[in-house]
């Protein structure tokens, strides 16, 4: 197959899935308690739009574990969180956001590769996709732990897609997300950004970030619509 001219990358929480339950937060909290021996909570942490590594570091800091000590614990905590989540993740098929499946099918028919760029740890991300029945649509991704920022993850996912022969060097990168952090990351990484209003952020707040396109949900986004234009 010839490399595609466009790569479409998706955030997960609030974009592909919504109201997926407390299991992700619980996995992070339990992992910190198990590895670091401190009781922690995500309460009061604005987790929407954050990378899991930053959520973990914030919980550790609130428990008095900071700096190099916290960073040394991160790999083991991350492994524990992923193991926990795999065990407790529920069926997520009813948590898929409106229009997601139709859009992914349309992109697949057109031969457009899709990937994940998310703040989730890798096994958590893929577990969510399997439990939601969406895994088959995604061939590449970048996750918490792969880079320090969401923009770095966007650049890495595009690089992985090029190395896999999915896209050519001049391919257009489109990112679909539901948070101002997604908009900022796309701008920094040189990607086009489609903001979707299915997360916790209002449409007005998303529009204030001046995305290339805003839609209330993905039912209003046709595959041709995001492939047209410069």
pLDDT in tens, 146-161: 999 999 999 999 999 9
Whether 111 and 89 have beta carbons less than 8 Å apart is answered as no
Backbone angles phi, psi at 66, to 5 degrees: -135, 170
Residues 83 and 99 in one domain: no
Residues 160 and 120 in one domain: yes
Residues 44 and 111 in one domain: no
Residues 13 and 33 in one domain: no
Residue that is last in its domain, among 41, 57, 88: 88
What percentage of residues in the chain have a pLDDT greater than 70?
99
- Residue 77 lies in domain: 23-88
Pairing of strands 167-177, 192-196: parallel
The two structure tokens encoding residue 53: 């590594």
Q: pLDDT value at position 211?
A: 96
pLDDT in tens, 154-184: 999 999 999 999 999 889 999 999 999 999 9
Place of tokens 């550790």: 60
Residues 46 and 159 in one domain: no
Q: What is the mean pLDDT of the chain?
A: 93
Whether 78 and 145 have beta carbons less than 8 Å apart is answered as yes
Q: What pTM value is reported for the model?
A: 0.93
Q: 167 CB contacts (<8 Å, ≥6 apart)?
A: 3, 4, 5, 6, 7, 113, 158, 161
> Per-residue pLDDT averaged across 84-111, rounded?
96
Please count the structural domains in the chain.
2
Q: pLDDT value at position 125?
A: 97
């Amino acid at each position: 197959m010839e490399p595609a001219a466009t790569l479409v990358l998706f955030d997960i929480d609030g974009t592909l899935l919504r109201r997926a339950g407390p299991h992700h937060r619980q996995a992070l909290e339990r992992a910190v308690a198990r590895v670091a021996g401190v009781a922690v909570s995500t309460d009061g942490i604005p987790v929407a739009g954050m990378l899991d590594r930053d959520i973990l570091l914030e919980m550790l800091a609130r428990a008095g574990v900071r700096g190099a000590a916290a960073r040394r614990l991160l790999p083991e905590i991350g492994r524990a969180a992923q193991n926990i989540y795999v065990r407790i993740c529920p069926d997520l098929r009813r948590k898929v956001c409106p229009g997601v499946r139709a859009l992914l099918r349309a992109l697949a028919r057109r031969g457009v590769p899709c990937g994940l760029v998310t703040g989730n740890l890798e096994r958590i991300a893929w577990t969510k996709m399997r439990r939601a029945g969406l895994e088959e649509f995604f061939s590449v991704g970048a996750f918490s732990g792969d880079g320090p920022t969401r923009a770095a993850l966007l650049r890495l996912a595009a690089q992985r897609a090029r190395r896999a022969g999915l896209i050519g060097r001049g391919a257009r990168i489109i990112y679909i997300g539901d948070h101002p952090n997604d908009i900022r990351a796309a701008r920094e990484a040189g990607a086009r950004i489609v903001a979707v209003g299915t997360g916790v952020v209002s449409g007005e707040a998303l529009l204030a970030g001046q995305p290339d396109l805003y839609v209330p949900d993905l039912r209003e986004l046709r595959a041709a619509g995001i492939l047209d234009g410069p």
